[in-house]
């Protein structure tokens, strides 16, 4: 790999990572197309600009200044546009830089996180597609590292402040132990280990970020002080819009949860406004809900809050305040949160909410594909409260990435297996032709065929002929007498010295002897493995 | 803090950040921290095992702490920062990048310390390094062949090899991928033209790096080599003037023959003889080439001692000028001697050189034909300070010709051939001004790193300063003081000796 070719490979892979992330996001959630346009535009422009700066060998500090200056110019534009342009430009520059591989991969990770965290459920765990999408960038990062290292090696061999010798291509004179399978296994094991660690640990670092949705509940009516049980909400369902924090705002998940009277809450008389204090929260305000998934679980399930719903114009509408839950160890909580059953101290059973205020709707048909149970902002609450999704609302189905990947991988594996299974057949036919030509051939060609047969056997045993090495030199090196005799006849043929029938017969016999003698030097397993080797002679 | 310290500190930084900084964050401490701590512990155990083994073998254990490459350390620090930011900002991508980076580096470091840092890969390895041709003549193209056999390449690693044969020659660098390193492998590279001298190439440096370039092993030294490069004497014009203006060597008398003697003096052909002098009849009789010698004897066969002045202290010099000047001196010294010998003079080459580490005055008589012994002497010559020029003269009545780079203040009946430094050395490149806007090399090249740029700049500055100093030491600008002496100047592929008017 030359340095220039390595540069092209890195740039191509980088763009593939970016493009794949954006395509997958749109494929999984086609409704996000409108919101993605500025991100896509900013990413393309920014990454191209950053890589152009890198190719022009602009120093890092200057490139950063240029990018920041241009970012400031774009600030009046849409936020997503300049945010993506800024980050993509820096990332594009770092993608070709030295020692900046991880920093360069941050922005592609941001794009990959969009479809993942958009499908995160209330347990802060990605859904099936999300898990796959979490593993995919990790795998691509390993490939990215490997290609960068190849380019670094090419640069190390060609760029220096001292005079460098001109290297020749390395010549393998004899193969060592055959550990291709072990090598492939090692690569897969290490990669799987890294992917597993990443897939397990990364979601634990995610933080929730929440706000009340348009259909937010009006809050709790009252609390029975000293009973330890909150009052049931005045409106049927408590709806909270939460999402995992990210560089770009994602739409997140709208959680709807109705406490069951008698279990989760108690029915209280409706309190008048102002009977209890509490902080108002406007709809759409970003509020930190928890510090993390485990902290989320430590919250009380139904803390009381006084919320204020703001209208579309941003005006705040005071809602009836709710009393503070006396037994809550955390005191007044800013908003009400639906807690995943698995993390709550006293997990409530799944509860189907019936929305009495809305007209009765038929139960929705099961989704055609098992996709994430997330919801877009405009989704009706009724749908979110369906029996199928008691905690979250349903997002329009996109592509099932997992099924797609499984199909592609299976097809590739099948193709590979078929190719491997055909190799013994190819070898069998080739060896048959080298021993006994399948069609009439000249004497010189038959001599050459016999020599090829000997070379196949020697190659099976690990011996390789160097390009600058003559046939007799090679024959002497391998230490098989018959090989020397074969080489002698071959050189006579190459120099145009007439060969008679005895020479041809002798060549056939000696070549077969060489083939068998060489293969006898290796073990049975290695001998069997040679039937899968292709090409037969390098 | 040195780069090595930063690399070593990178091994423990994420653990400290995970455990110390975000203490308020239970999820990190309990979930992420515990898993990363377990991975770090595995890596620490692997490294500690190597350190213990090193202590047991009484070798320095510190090299085993330097298990991360610069790229690996940079990734570890970046991931640590991302982890910190993930705890502060909560962005999912930061957490992903942090865990991915730390995980990969820890896995790479653990694997490298476990399978590659020990002796196992090198136990049966033989590294044979040969320079082709083993005995070259100055200017011949050299090739380095490295044959590696029996090396056990650990999985997921690459072998890096680097070395330098000649002091000012090219540096060879090789990388061997995966399974290619096992069995028997031949690495070759073209080293460029041979430089005069007896070269003892230091051993090659070999080390392993994982395929992602994150972790490495300590350097192993194998494959020292030796190389002898003979000087290539040029044809020198104007040498006859060194013998004086009497021209008695040009006068000859006929040889007195006895009636039974042949017409000509003959001898065996030697390389360099004029083919027109081949006596074909005698050659056929003796089945060997025989040449006729001129049927005359010179009136005088002057005895000449050609002395090389190599008295100069240049050990601390890293610039190329001293070596280039000495190569030129030796070439001209031998060239003058050969031309004089070819004209019939009895030439003795004199120089001070080291033999088995001891400084000696070596004299070699130079026959008319090419003398391998004189060339061997020329190959061994280096700058020395133990034998002043005055010691090289003898009490004999021979004519003395001194080949030097500077006119000495010694008085005497010597004929000086001065080799001016400015004409025979390559000017050292002036340290270039570093551009603050553009990188000097292609982006991504390790040579762009500030530490390497600084080192390269310091080296270039030092060489340039030393070159200037050397020029001041050996230069001579007042030509009028050297009236009557001779100067040797390059004239194409030849050397021209002329009198300073």
Residue B411 has pLDDT above 80, yes or no: no
- Distance from the first to the final alpha carbon of chain B: 61
B275: its two tokens: 């083919």
pLDDT in tens, B422-446: 889 988 888 877 788 899 999 999 8
H or E element that contains B407: none
Residue B262 has pLDDT above 70, yes or no: no
A420 Cβ contact list (under 8 Å, min separation 6): A532
CA distance A164 to chain B (A): 5
Which pLDDT does position B298 carry in this prediction? 56
Reported as a pLDDT band with limits 50, 70 and 90, residue B57 is confident
What would you measure as the largest C-alpha separation in chain A, in angstroms? Answer: 117
Which pLDDT does position A483 carry in this prediction? 94
Surface of B (427-456) touching A: CB under 8 A: 436-439, 441-449, 452, 456
CA distance A403 to B477: 85
Residue A381 has pLDDT above 50, yes or no: no
Residue A496 has pLDDT above 90, yes or no: no
B250 versus A292: which is more confidently predicted? B250
What residues in B contact A98, CB-CB < 8 Å? 71, 443-446, 448-449
Residue A230 has pLDDT above 80, yes or no: no
Average pLDDT along chain B: 85
Residue A315 has pLDDT above 70, yes or no: no
Contact predicate A118/A248, CB 8 Å: no
Pairing of β B184-193 and β A171-174:
antiparallel
Which pLDDT does position B266 carry in this prediction? 82
Surface of B (93-132) touching A: CB under 8 A: 93-101, 103-104, 107, 111
Give me the helix-helix angle, A481-494 and A501-520, nearest 10°. 140
CA distance B459 to B470: 16
- In the predicted model, what is the mean pLDDT of residues A123-142? 78
How far lies A41's CA from each of A28, A37, A52, A53, A88, in Å?
A: 19, 6, 17, 18, 10
Pairing of β B303-308 and β B399-404:
parallel
A535 upstream amide cis, omega within 30 of 0: yes
CA distance A113 to chain B (A): 6
CA distance A48 to B482: 67
The verdict on a CB contact (< 8 Å) between A163 and B192 is yes
Contact predicate A121/A372, CB 8 Å: yes
User: What number of C-beta contacts closer than 8 Å exist between A and B?
Assistant: 286
- In the predicted model, what is the mean pLDDT of residues A503-515? 93
- In the predicted model, what is the mean pLDDT of residues A61-67? 93
The verdict on a CB contact (< 8 Å) between B439 and A59 is yes
Which pLDDT does position A177 carry in this prediction? 63
What residues in B contact A156, CB-CB < 8 Å? 173, 175, 446
pTM check: above 0.80: no
What residues in A contact B442, CB-CB < 8 Å? 3, 7, 57, 155, 159
Q: At residue B186, what are phi and psi to the nearest 5 degrees? A: -120, 120
Which pLDDT does position B139 carry in this prediction? 92
Residue A504 has pLDDT above 50, yes or no: yes
Winning range, highest mean pLDDT, from A240-249, A396-405, A413-422, B239-248: A413-422
The verdict on a CB contact (< 8 Å) between A97 and B443 is yes
- In the predicted model, what is the mean pLDDT of residues A11-26? 91
pLDDT in tens, B113-135: 999 988 889 988 999 999 999 88
Which pLDDT does position A306 carry in this prediction? 34
The verdict on a CB contact (< 8 Å) between A58 and B95 is no
What would you measure as the largest C-alpha separation in chain B, in angstroms? Answer: 120
Which pLDDT does position A371 carry in this prediction? 35
Winning range, highest mean pLDDT, from A31-45, A154-168, A375-389: A154-168
Contact predicate A96/A54, CB 8 Å: yes
Q: Does B74 touch chain A (CB under 8 A)?
A: yes
3-state secondary structure A470-514: CHHHHHHHHCCHHHHHHHHHHHHHHCCCCCCHHHHHHHHHHHHHH
Reported as a pLDDT band with limits 50, 70 and 90, residue A334 is very low
- In the predicted model, what is the mean pLDDT of residues B51-78? 89
Contact predicate B408/B393, CB 8 Å: no
Which pLDDT does position A290 carry in this prediction? 39
Give me the helix-helix angle, A128-158 and A3-28, nearest 10°. 170
Q: Is A252 left (phi over 0), alpha (psi -120 to 50) or beta?
A: left
Residue B208 has pLDDT above 90, yes or no: yes
B435 versus A236: which is more confidently predicted? B435
The verdict on a CB contact (< 8 Å) between A146 and B211 is yes
What residues in B contact A246, CB-CB < 8 Å? 91-93
A380 versus B251: which is more confidently predicted? B251
Which pLDDT does position A18 carry in this prediction? 94
Average pLDDT along chain A: 73
Q: Does A189 touch chain B (CB under 8 A)?
A: no
A459: its two tokens: 């190659």
CA distance B78 to chain A (A): 7
Contact predicate B166/B178, CB 8 Å: no
Reported as a pLDDT band with limits 50, 70 and 90, residue B68 is very high
CA distance A123 to A342: 8
ipTM over 0.90: no
Name the residue among A234, A228, A238 with its Cα closest to residue A328.
A228
Residue A216 has pLDDT above 70, yes or no: no
CA distance A315 to B426: 81
What residues in B contact A96, CB-CB < 8 Å? 443-444
Which pLDDT does position A465 carry in this prediction? 86
Surface of A (192-221) touching B: CB under 8 A: 193-194, 197-198, 200-207, 209
CA distance B70 to B6: 9
Best of A56, A133, A170, A468 to substitute, by most chain B Cβ atoms within 10 angstroms, is A170
Of B27, B187, B441, the CB nearest to A295: B27
A486 versus B299: which is more confidently predicted? A486
For every residue of A217-270, DSSP letters joined together read: ---B--B-TTTS-EEPBSSS-EEEEEEE--SS----EEEEE-PPBTTTEE--PP
A282 versus A498: which is more confidently predicted? A498
CA distance A273 to chain B (A): 36
Contact predicate B136/B194, CB 8 Å: yes
CA distance B305 to B337: 9
Find the range with the poorest average confidence among A312-316, A514-518, B137-141, B296-300: A312-316
What residues in B contact A145, CB-CB < 8 Å? 104, 212-214
Which pLDDT does position B428 carry in this prediction? 84
B81 Cβ contact list (under 8 Å, min separation 6): none
pLDDT in tens, B321-341: 999 999 999 999 999 998 888
Which pLDDT does position B299 carry in this prediction? 55
Q: Does A54 touch chain B (CB under 8 A)?
A: yes
Surface of A (475-534) touching B: CB under 8 A: none
Neighbours of B415 (CB within 10 A): 19
CA distance A457 to chain B (A): 17
Chain B residue with minimal CA distance to A187?
B156
Chain B residue with minimal CA distance to A54?
B443
What residues in B contact A105, CB-CB < 8 Å? 97
Which pLDDT does position A375 carry in this prediction? 35
Chain B residue with minimal CA distance to A96?
B444
Name the residue among A32, A181, A48 with its Cα closest to residue A111.
A32
Best of B442, B448, B454 to substitute, by most chain A Cβ atoms within 10 angstroms, is B442
What percent of chain B clears pLDDT 70, i.e. is strictly above it?
88
Residue B154 has pLDDT above 50, yes or no: yes
Residue A266 has pLDDT above 80, yes or no: no
A218 versus B238: which is more confidently predicted? B238
Which pLDDT does position A250 carry in this prediction? 62
How far lies B23's CA from each of A135, A295, B26, in Å?
A: 28, 13, 7
What residues in A contact B152, CB-CB < 8 Å? 176-177
Name the residue among A296, A297, A251, A257 with its Cα closest to residue A119.
A251
- In the predicted model, what is the mean pLDDT of residues B290-294? 82
Residue B275 has pLDDT above 80, yes or no: yes
Q: Tell me B215's DSSP state.
A: B
What percent of chain A clears pLDDT 70, i.e. is strictly above it?
62
The verdict on a CB contact (< 8 Å) between A204 and B28 is yes
């Amino acid at each position: 790999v030359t340095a220039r070719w390595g540069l092209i490979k890195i740039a191509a892979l980088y763009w593939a990572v970016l493009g794949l992330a954006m395509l997958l996001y749109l494929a999984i959630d086609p409704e996000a197309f409108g919101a993605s346009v500025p991100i896509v535009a900013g990413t393309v422009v920014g990454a191209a600009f950053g890589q152009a700066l890198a190719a022009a060998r602009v120093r890092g500090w200057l490139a950063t200044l240029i990018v920041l200056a241009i970012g400031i110019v774009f600030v009046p534009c849409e936020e997503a546009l300049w945010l993506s342009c800024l980050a993509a430009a820096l990332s594009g520059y770092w993608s070709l830089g030295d020692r900046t591989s991880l920093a360069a991969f941050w922005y592609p990770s941001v794009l990959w996180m969009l479809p993942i965290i958009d499908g995160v459920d209330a347990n802060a765990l990605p859904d099936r597609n999300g898990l796959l999408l979490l593993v995919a960038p990790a795998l691509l990062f390993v490939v990215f590292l490997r290609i960068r290292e190849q380019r670094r090696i090419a640069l190390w061999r060609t760029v220096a402040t001292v005079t460098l010798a001109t290297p020749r291509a390395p010549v393998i004179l004899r193969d060592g132990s055959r550990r291709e399978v072990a090598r492939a296994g090692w690569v897969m094991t290490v990669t799987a280990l890294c992917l597993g660690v990443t897939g397990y640990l990364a979601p634990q670092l995610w933080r929730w970020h929440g706000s009340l949705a348009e259909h937010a509940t009006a809050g709790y009516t009252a609390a029975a002080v000293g009973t330890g049980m909150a009052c049931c909400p005045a409106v049927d369902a408590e709806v909270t819009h939460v999402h995992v924090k990210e560089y770009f705002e994602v739409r997140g998940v709208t959680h709807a949860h109705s406490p069951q009277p008698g279990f989760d809450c108690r029915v209280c008389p409706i309190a008048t406004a102002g009977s209890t204090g509490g902080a108002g929260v406007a709809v759409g305000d970003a509020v930190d809900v928890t510090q993390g998934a485990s902290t989320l679980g430590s919250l009380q399930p139904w803390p009381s809050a006084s919320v204020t719903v703001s209208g579309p114009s941003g005006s705040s509408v005071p809602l009836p305040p709710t009393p503070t839950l006396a037994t809550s160890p955390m005191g007044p909580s800013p908003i009400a949160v639906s807690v995943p059953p698995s993390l709550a101290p006293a997990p409530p059973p799944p509860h189907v909410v019936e929305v009495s205020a809305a007209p009765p709707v038929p139960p929705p048909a099961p989704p055609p594909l098992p996709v994430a149970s997330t919801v877009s902002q405009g989704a009706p609450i009724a749908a979110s409260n369906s029996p199928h999704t008691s905690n979250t609302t349903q997002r329009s189905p996109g592509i099932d990435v997992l099924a797609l990947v499984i199909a592609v991988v299976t097809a590739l594996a099948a193709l590979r297996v078929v190719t491997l299974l055909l190799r013994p057949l190819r070898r069998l036919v080739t060896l048959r032709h080298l021993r006994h030509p399948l069609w009439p051939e000249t004497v010189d060609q038959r001599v050459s065929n016999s020599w090829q047969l000997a070379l196949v056997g020697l190659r099976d045993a690990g011996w390789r002929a160097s390009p600058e090495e003559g046939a007799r030199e090679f024959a002497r090196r391998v230490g098989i007498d018959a090989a020397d005799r074969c080489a002698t006849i071959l050189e006579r043929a190459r120099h145009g010295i007439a060969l008679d029938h005895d020479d041809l017969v002798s060549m056939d016999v000696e070549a077969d002897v060489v083939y068998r003698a060489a293969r006898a030097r290796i073990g049975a397993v290695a001998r069997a493995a040679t039937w899968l080797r292709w090409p037969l002679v390098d | 803090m040195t780069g090595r310290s930063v690399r070593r500190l990178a091994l423990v930084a994420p653990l400290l950040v995970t455990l110390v900084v975000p203490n308020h964050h239970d999820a990190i401490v309990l979930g992420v921290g515990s898993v990363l701590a377990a991975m770090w512990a595995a890596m620490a155990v692997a490294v500690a095992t190597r350190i213990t083994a090193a202590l047991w073998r009484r070798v320095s254990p510190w090299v085993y702490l330097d298990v991360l490459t610069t790229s690996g350390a940079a990734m570890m620090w970046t991931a640590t920062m991302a982890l910190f930011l993930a705890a502060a900002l909560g962005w999912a991508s930061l957490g992903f990048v942090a865990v991915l980076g730390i995980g990969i580096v820890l896995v790479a470091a653990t694997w490298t310390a476990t399978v590659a840092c020990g002796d196992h890969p090198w136990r049966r390895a033989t590294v044979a390094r040969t320079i082709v041709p083993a005995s070259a003549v100055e200017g011949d193209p050299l090739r380095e062949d490295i044959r590696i056999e029996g090396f056990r390449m650990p999985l997921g690693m690459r072998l890096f090899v680097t070395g330098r044969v000649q002091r000012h020659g090219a540096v060879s660098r090789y990388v061997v991928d995966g399974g290619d390193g096992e069995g028997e492998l031949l690495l070759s590279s073209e080293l460029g033209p041979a430089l005069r001298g007896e070269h003892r190439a230091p051993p090659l440096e070999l080390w392993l790096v994982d395929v992602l370039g994150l972790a490495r092993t300590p350097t192993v030294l194998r494959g020292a080599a030796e190389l002898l490069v003979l000087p290539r004497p040029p044809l020198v014009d104007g040498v006859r003037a060194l013998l004086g203006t009497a021209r008695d060597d040009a006068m000859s008398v006929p040889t007195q023959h006895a009636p039974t003697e042949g017409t000509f003096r003959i001898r065996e052909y030697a390389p360099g003889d004029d083919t027109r002098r081949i006596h074909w009849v005698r050659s056929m009789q003796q089945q060997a080439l025989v040449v006729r010698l001129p049927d005359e004897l010179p009136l005088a066969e002057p005895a000449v001692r050609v002395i090389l002045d190599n008295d100069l202290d240049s050990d601390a010099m890293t610039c190329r000028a001293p070596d280039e000047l000495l190569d030129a001196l030796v070439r001209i010294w031998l060239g003058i001697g050969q031309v004089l010998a070819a004209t019939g003079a009895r030439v003795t080459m004199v120089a001070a050189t080291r033999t088995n580490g001891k400084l000696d005055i070596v004299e070699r008589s130079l026959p008319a034909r090419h003398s391998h012994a004189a060339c061997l002497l020329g190959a061994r010559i280096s700058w020395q300070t133990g034998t002043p020029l005055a010691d090289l003269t003898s009490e004999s009545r021979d004519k003395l010709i001194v080949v030097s780079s500077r006119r000495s203040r010694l008085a005497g009946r010597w004929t000086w051939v001065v080799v001016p430094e400015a004409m025979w050395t390559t000017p050292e490149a002036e340290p270039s001004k570093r551009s603050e806007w553009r990188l000097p090399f292609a982006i991504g090249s390790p040579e762009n790193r500030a530490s390497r740029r600084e080192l390269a700049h310091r080296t270039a500055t030092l060489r340039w300063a030393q070159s200037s100093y050397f020029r001041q030491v050996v230069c001579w600008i007042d030509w009028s003081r050297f009236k009557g002496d001779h100067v040797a100047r390059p004239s194409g592929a030849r050397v021209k000796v002329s009198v300073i008017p």
